[in-house]
Structure 1
Amino acid sequence: MGFQNLSTLVTTSLPTINLKTISFFWYDYLLFTVVLGFSSLIGIFFGCFRKQDTKKEYLLGGKRMNVWPIAISLVASHTSAITVLAIPADVYRYGLGFWQGCISLFLLHFTTSYIFLPVFYKLELTSIYEYLAMRFDEKTRMMASALYAVSLLLYLPIVIYIPSLGFATATGIGVHVVAPIACGICIFYTTIGGLKAVVWTDTFQFTLTVGCLVAVLMLALEKAGGFFTMWNTALEGHRLDVSFDPDPTRRDGFWAVVIGLTFMFTAQNSINQGCIQKFLALPSIADAKKSCFIYTQGCIIAKTLSILIGLTMYAIFAGCDPFTTKKVERNDQLVPYFIVDVGSSVPGLSGLFFAGVFCAALSTLSANLNCVAGTLYTDFISKVMDPKVSEKVASNILKLLVIIVGVCGCLMIYIIEHLGGIVQLSISLKGIADGPLLGVFAMGVLSRRINSKGAFYGALLSMLFMSWFFMMVKYYEKMGHLKYEAKPLSTANCTYIFNFNETSTISPPPSDDNIFYMFRLSFYYYTVIGTMMCCFIGSCISFFTNKKDDPIVPKKLLCPLVHWMYDDEEDEIEQVNKSNGDYFNVEQAIQLTTSHVEEAEKKS
Structure 2
Amino acid sequence: MCSIVPLQDQLQSDEQLQQQQATTNETSTNDVWNYVVFVSFVVVSALLPIRKRLCRRSTNSKSKQDYVFGAGHISTLAMMLSIARGTLGVISVLGYPSEFFYRGSAMWESLYGVITAYPIVCFVFIPVYFDLGITSVYQYLELRFNSRLVRCLASGTYIIRTLLSLGVTIYTPTVALNTIIGVPYWVSLLSITLISIFFNALGGLKAAVAADVIQSLSMTAMLVGIIIYCSITVGGVDKILTISSDNDRFAFFNFAADLHLRVTTTSAWLGELFNSLSLLGCQQNFVQRYLSMPTISQIRRTLMLNIPVVTLLFSLPWFVGMAIYAIYWHCDPLKASVIAKMDEILPYFMVDRFDSVPGVWGIFVGTLFNGALTLNISNINSLATVTWEDFLSLIPALRKKSDKHQLNVIKLVGTIYAVVIMGVGFIVGLLSGVIESSMLIISATSGPLLGVFVLAMFIPFANWKGAAMGMIASHLSILWIVVGRLIESNVSDTLLDTSIEGCYADLMEAQKNTSLLLVVALEEGVNAVETSTLLNRIYSITFMYYGVFGTVLTVLCGIVISLATWSSHDVYNMKMLHPAVRWLYSRCPFSGKHIGSFEIGGKGYGAGMKEPVPKC
* Distance (Å, rounded) in 1 between the aligned partners of 2:445 and 2:180: 35
Residue 255 of structure 1 aligns with an amino acid whose one-letter code is T
**Equivalent runs, 1:232-381 vs 2, <5 Å:** 232-242=242-252, 243-381=254-392
- The alignment's TM-score, normalised by the length of structure 1, stands at 0.87
Q: 1:502 aligns with which of 501, 512, 524?
A: 512
Query: Which AA in structure 2 matches 1:339?
Result: M
Aligned to 1:12: none
The residue that corresponds to 1:596 in the other structure is none
Give the structure 1 partner of residue 578 of structure 2: 559
List gaps (5 residues or longer) in structure 1: 1-21, 591-604
Q: How does 1:6-25 map to 2 (within 5 A)?
A: 25=31
Aligned to 1:17: none
Q: Distance in 2 between matches of 1:584 and 1:349?
A: 58
Identity of aligned residues (%): 25
1:220 maps onto 2:226 in alignment = no
Map 1:566-577 onto structure 2 (within 5 A). Answer: 566-567=585-586, 573=592, 577=596
SS at match of 2:263: coil
TM-fit CA distance, 1:575: 8.5
Whether the 8 Å contact between 1:80 and 1:360 is mirrored in structure 2 is yes
Question: Which residue in the other structure is 1:538 paired with?
Answer: 558
SS, match of residue 25 in structure 1: helix
Distance 2:538 2:594 in 1: 46
SS at the partner of 1:435? helix
Partner Cα separation in structure 1 for residue 594 and residue 160 of structure 2: 36
Measure the CA separation in 2 of the matches of 1:558 and 1:588. 17
Between the aligned partners of 2:603 and 2:78, the Cα distance in structure 1 is 41
Unaligned runs of 5+ in 2: 1-26, 611-616
Please give the alpha-carbon distance, in whole angstroms, between the structure 1 residues aligned to 2:605 and 2:152. 29
User: Partner amino acid for 1:118?
Assistant: P
TM-score (norm 2): 0.86
1:487-514 CA-partner distances (Å, limit 9, x unpaired):
1122222223123363998965358221
Q: State yes or no: 1:89 paired with 2:98.
A: yes
Report the AA paired with residue 416 of structure 2: I
- Determine the structure 2 residue equivalent to 1:181: 191
- One of 545, 548, 551 as aligned partner of 1:525: 545
Query: Quick one: which amino acid aligns to residue 327 of structure 1?
Result: V
Query: CA 1:70–1:571 in structure 2 vs 1: closer, same or farther (change >3 Å)?
Result: farther
Q: What is the root-mean-square deviation of aligned Cα atoms in Å? A: 2.7
For 2:498 and 2:202, how far apart are their aligned partners in 1?
49
AA of the residue aligned to 2:240: M
Aligned residue pairs total 564
AA aligned opposite 2:262:
R
Are 2:109 and 2:268, in contact at CA under 8 Å, matched by a contact in 1? yes
Q: Separation in 2 of the partners of 1:495 and 1:29?
A: 32
Check 1:228–1:419 CA distance in 2 against 1; reply closer, same or farther (3 A cut). farther
Which residue identity lines up with residue 392 of structure 2 in the other structure? I
Equivalent AA in structure 2 for residue 458 of structure 1: G
Contact 1:119 1:558 in 2 (8 A): yes
AA aligned to 1:298 is V
Tell me which residue corresponds to 1:75. 84
Q: 1:249, 1:520 within 8 Å by CA — same for their partners in 2?
A: yes
Partner of 1:141: 151
Give the counterpart of 1:434 among 429, 436, 446.
446
Q: Secondary structure at the match of 2:351?
A: helix
Alpha-carbon offset, residue 111 of structure 1: 1.9
| 1:89 CA displacement | 1.2
Q: Which amino acid aligns with 2:542?
A: S
Q: CA 1:280–1:94 in structure 2 vs 1: closer, same or farther (change >3 Å)?
A: same
Matched, 1:451 2:492: no
1:25–1:559: structure 2 CA closer, same or farther, 3 Å change rule?
A: same
Which of 481, 485, 492 in structure 1 is aligned with 2:501? 492
Check if 1:131 corresponds to 2:140.
yes
**CA–CA distance in 2 between the matches of 1:305 and 1:576?**
49
* Cα deviation code 1:391-410 (max 9, x no counterpart): 11111111111111111111
Distance 2:562 2:503 in 1: 63
CA deviations 1:55-88 (Å, max 9, x no partner) are: 2110001123221111111122222101211121
Question: Does the Cα contact within 8 Å between 1:80 and 1:363 map onto a contact in 2?
Answer: no
**Once the 2 structures are TM-superposed, how far is the Cα of residue 436 of structure 1 from its aligned partner?**
0.6
**Structure 2 counterpart of 1:172, one-letter code:** G
Letter in 2 for 1:169: T
Deviation at 1:580, TM superposition (A): 5.1
1:209 equivalent to 2:181? Answer no
Q: 1:294 to 1:586 in 2, by over 3 A?
A: closer
AA aligned opposite 2:99: D
